[in-house]
Amino acid sequence: MKIALEDANKRLRPIIRSIDKRADFVSSLTEGDKPGISLTLSKREKSKTIAIPLEAVVSAADDPIQRHRLRGRIKRAYDRMLFVAPPMASTKMERGSTSADGYFRPSGGGNRR
C-alpha cells in the first residue's frame, strides 16, 4: 500500500478545504511500523501536527464513511489548534456606590405617590 506524497495531498486537500478554506497544511510521509502521513495544519500563527495512518488516507478515497472519520480527525485537531480558553470568571463581589441614603437608592426619588 505505497502512496506518493502528491497523491496523498490530492486526497487531503478537499477534506481540509471543507473545514477551512484559509487553513494551510504541509504533509510528509512517515516510515516505520505503521506508515502514515504527518500533517501540519496552520492558521494565524498557530500550528498543530497530527499523524494519520496511510490506510485512513487510502480508504477515504473510496468509502464515504472513512472519509467522514478522517475529516473528523482533522477537524478535531484544527479546533484544538484554534481553541483559546475563556478568561477566568472573577469571584470578587462588586458593590454599588454608596450614598447618604444607602445602597442602590435612586437619587431623583421617582414617582412615589
Is the CB of residue 37 less than 8 Å from the CB of residue 57?
yes
Backbone angles phi, psi at 7, to 5 degrees: -65, -40
Residue 56: predicted pLDDT: 93
- Residue pointed to by grid coordinates 498557530: 46
- β-bridge partners, 40: 26, 49
CA 58 to chain centre: 24
Which positions ≥6 away from 73 have C-beta within 8 Å? Answer: 50, 52, 56
**pLDDT band at residue 98 using 50, 70 and 90 as cut-offs:** low
**Per-residue pLDDT reduced to its tens digit, 5-59:** 899 999 999 999 999 999 999 999 998 888 899 999 999 899 999 999 999 999 9
pTM over 0.75: no
- Return d(Cα 46, Cα 78) in angstroms, integer: 10
